[in-house]
Amino acid sequence: MQLSKDEIQHIAKLARLELTDAELEKYGGQLSAVLSYIDQLKEVDVTGAEPTAQVTGLENVLRDDEVSDWADDERQAALKQAPESENGFIKVKRVIE
Amino acid sequence: MQLNQLTIKQAAQKLANKEISSVELTRACLARIKEVDGKIKACLTVCEEEALAEAKQADERRANGETGDLLGIPYLAKDNIMTRGVRTTAASRILENYIAPYDATIIKKLKQAGAVLLGKTNLDEFAHGASTENSAYGPTHNPWDLTRVPGGSSGGSAASVAADMCLFALGTDTGGSIRCPAAFCGITGLKPTYGRSSRFGLVAMTSSTDVPGPLTKTVADAAIVLNIIAGKDERDATTVKIPLTPFIKGELKNLTIGLPKEYFIEGTDQGVTEAVEKAIEKFKELGVKFKQVSLPHTKYGVPVYYIITPSEVSSNLARFDGIKYGLSVMKPPLPPLSGGQENGLMEIYTKSRGQGFGPEAKRRIMLGTYALSAGYFDAYYLQAQKVRTKIKQEFDKVLEGVDCLLTPTSPHVAFKIGEQSSDPLKMYLEDIFVTGASLAGLPALSMPCGFDKNLPVGLQLIGKRFDEGMLFRVGQAFEEATEWHLQKAKI
């Protein structure tokens, strides 16, 4: 499994990572090696095996859909972590041009 | 004996008898951190003032008649566990200045029990690794040999317990991250059953296998800590109500332990094999019957793990976007890079993440993004989840016929810092004996069972789902019959 530089660049873009040329080259080789190793999974016969979603047997854990207030000091502390906020909201960049 | 060298059990006794105070105990730990952590580098943050205040409070609570095994006991927490008001970095640049607005559930429970938080310990960035070399703040050194790694990813927690900087530490285990460093540092580490202890307030890595647990000086201490941190949490829908099996001290006669032949293979160092074989002999003297069993899908554990983990990592780390918290190119101290022009949304994402994440986090994000992307999902992620089912089923089946399993924790002792860091695949293979229990969600305990090249060797006990009690019983009996857990690194 050999990933080309274009493929690595594409994956980095999907993952929202800006990488240098040196990084693209390095990770390209390393990821190709890891994927080649992982390819051995294809030899396992999984006929009839359901994909694992949960290991402890819990099913449909539900709770009431209720709104509860967040303690104001915790809320303020959370807002303080954002680079920009305004009137109790986190400020984001324009998404739609 | 100095106070910081005590086990939880010993210290709790002395606190109860009013022989010592929590303030004295806490001061002894803080002094030890000052004395040795310049060399070991286990701690990323030490909160001396807060710790002493908490210790004082614990002493007051005790004076008012309160009791409890952890009341006044000082501990360290891995730095991917959120602590209100105390920096939580996950050993990443992207969270360098992050202060959590609330405590993780397990921290809250320890606070209620009166335990004293001394600070936060080093780890592989976002818990991605088996050596603690992937920390953005430099590696932690193994107290037994400062040129070697402490294992990982909870390497700071393991090293701090081994060097008596605290009475216990918290770690997280996703695919061996408590057991591997416990083995390398010669201490006890418990990965509880998945869902036994709450993940709320952990910096999420692989949500389907992450579980927090204790690193301690003895098996009994691990049971004490688990007793406090375990339990159903409304804020983690995967936690369960099933009560802890009682920790019964008792004889091991009539117990049968399984030896999975796929865990006793060529490639394991001779010294490790010998130490584990001697441990098996000791168990036989204690009346344990052994039975060879087979887990034929063992060799697929690591490849399954390195599809599922990066997939969940790529999704979990998407929250670091340079907008809500963490390193951001949106505003200083990092100036906009595009010639003074303000960054657009896409640049804020890509540059903040490009600058904030270290190499292993980037590799895992990309591997997961690839495995989950259109056209590859069935071949990688879906196939891995199906093989995972097979791994889980064969564990469950084998465990029906035995009380628990015994294996080496790692195929070798602690390796040299830098020895393996250039080859990610080689580092992934470190996890060969520890991923299975994680993928199957089973409890597993690593404890010291000897030395190879003067470095500690760990043995692993893997139990039935929710039967941590059996691991404690077996581990405790071994501890009483041996003195490996009493050996201390000389620093």
Per-residue pLDDT tens over the stretch B376-416: 999 999 999 999 999 999 999 999 999 999 999 999 999 99
CA of B351: which chain A residue's CA is closest?
A18
> Tokens at residue B476, please?
């405790």
CATH at B76? 3.90.1300.10
Respond yes or no: is residue B198 known to be catalytic: no
Regarding predicted confidence, which is higher, B343 or B98? Answer: B98
* pLDDT score recorded for residue B331: 67
* pLDDT score recorded for residue B174: 98
Count of alpha carbons within 13 angstroms of residue A43, beta-carbon side: 9
Q: Is residue B77 part of a domain?
A: yes
Non-local (6+) Cβ contacts of B18 within 8 A are none
Mean pLDDT of chain B: 95
Q: Give the integer Cα–Cα distance in Å for B233 and B237.
A: 7
Judged against a pLDDT cut of 90, whether residue B487 lies above it is answered with yes
Chain B residues near residue A26 by CB distance under 8 angstroms:
359
Q: Is residue B285 part of a domain?
A: no
Respond yes or no: is residue B153 known to be catalytic: yes
Report residue B341's pLDDT band, with 50, 70 and 90 as the boundaries.
low
Amino acid B263 reads Y
10 Å CB burial of residue B441 (0-12, 13-18, 19+) is buried
Q: Provide the residue ranges of all domains of chain A, joining segments of one domain with +.
A: 5-43
406-425 in B: which are within 8 Å (CB) of A?
A: 424-425
* pLDDT score recorded for residue B333: 47
The residue among A17, A62, A73 with the most chain B CBs within 10 A of its CB, best to mutate, is A17
Which of B330, B386, B440 faces A49 most closely, judged by CB atoms? B386
Q: Is residue B238 part of a domain?
A: yes
Q: For residue B451, how many other CB atoms are within 10 A of its CB?
A: 17
For residue A41, give how far its alpha carbon lies from the nearest alpha carbon of chain B (Å). 7
For residue B465, give how far its alpha carbon lies from the nearest alpha carbon of chain A (Å). 8
B186, B144 contact by CB (below 8 A): yes
The residue among A52, A60, A61, A91 with the most chain B CBs within 10 A of its CB, best to mutate, is A52
Catalytic option among B177, B311, B352, B438:
B177
Q: Give the integer Cα–Cα distance in Å for A15 and B361.
A: 11
Chain A residues near residue B383 by CB distance under 8 angstroms:
41-42, 44, 46
10 Å CB burial of residue B327 (0-12, 13-18, 19+) is buried
A35–B390 C-beta distance less than 8 A: no
Respond yes or no: is residue B78 known to be catalytic: yes
Q: Give the integer Cα–Cα distance in Å for B263 and B273.
A: 10
Domains: count for chain B: 1
CA of B363: which chain A residue's CA is closest?
A27
Q: What does the pLDDT look like over A31-78, one tens digit per residue? A: 999 999 999 999 999 999 999 988 998 988 998 899 999 999 999 999
30-89 in A: which are within 8 Å (CB) of B?
A: 30-31, 33-35, 37-38, 40-42, 44, 46, 49-56, 58, 61, 63, 74-75, 77-78, 80-84
Judged against a pLDDT cut of 70, whether residue B231 lies above it is answered with yes
Chain B residues near residue A41 by CB distance under 8 angstroms:
300, 303-304, 307, 380, 383-384, 387
Q: What does the pLDDT look like over B246-303, one tens digit per residue? A: 777 778 999 999 999 999 998 899 999 999 999 999 999 999 999 999 999 999 999 9
* pLDDT score recorded for residue B432: 93
A52–B300 C-beta distance less than 8 A: no
* pLDDT score recorded for residue B335: 52
Which of B237, B384, B392 faces A55 most closely, judged by CB atoms? B392
Which of B98, B303, B385 faces A51 most closely, judged by CB atoms? B385
Catalytic option among B21, B41, B78, B92:
B78
Q: What does the pLDDT look like over B406-463, one tens digit per residue? A: 999 999 999 999 998 888 888 888 899 999 999 999 999 999 999 999 999 999 999 9
Report residue B342's pLDDT band, with 50, 70 and 90 as the boundaries.
low
Domain boundaries, position B135: 3-253
B98–A90 C-beta distance less than 8 A: no
B363–A31 C-beta distance less than 8 A: yes
Chain A residues near residue B324 by CB distance under 8 angstroms:
81-82, 90
Which of B353, B380, B428 faces A16 most closely, judged by CB atoms? B353
Mean pLDDT, to the nearest integer, of B473-489?
97
A96 touches B: beta carbon within 8 Å: no
Q: Is residue B56 part of a domain?
A: yes
Q: What does the pLDDT look like over B92-102, one tens digit per residue? A: 999 999 999 99
Compute φ and ψ for B75, nearest 5 degrees: -145, 165
Q: Give the integer Cα–Cα distance in Å for B183 and B192.
A: 16
Question: What is the CATH architecture assignment of A5-43?
Answer: Orthogonal Bundle (1.10)
Q: Which helix (H) or strand (E) holds B347?
A: helix B345-356
* pLDDT score recorded for residue A95: 79
247-266 in B: which are within 8 Å (CB) of A?
A: none
Three-state DSSP at B353 gives helix
* pLDDT score recorded for residue B171: 98
Q: Is the ipTM of this complex over 0.90?
A: yes
Q: Is residue B421 part of a domain?
A: no
Q: Is residue B192 part of a domain?
A: yes
For residue A34, give how far its alpha carbon lies from the nearest alpha carbon of chain B (Å). 6
Instruction: Give the CA distances from residue B291 to residues B266, B280, B314, B350, in Å, rounded to whole numbers and listed in that order.
Output: 20, 11, 41, 54
Q: Is residue B73 part of a domain?
A: yes
Q: Is residue B442 part of a domain?
A: no
For residue A44, give how far its alpha carbon lies from the nearest alpha carbon of chain B (Å). 7
Chain B residues near residue A42 by CB distance under 8 angstroms:
379, 383
Strand intervals (E) in B351-454: 404-408, 444-452
Chain A residues near residue B325 by CB distance under 8 angstroms:
78, 81-82
* pLDDT score recorded for residue B353: 97
Report residue B344's pLDDT band, with 50, 70 and 90 as the boundaries.
confident
B303–A51 C-beta distance less than 8 A: no
**Chain centroid, CA B176 distance in Å:** 7
Judged against a pLDDT cut of 80, whether residue B25 lies above it is answered with yes
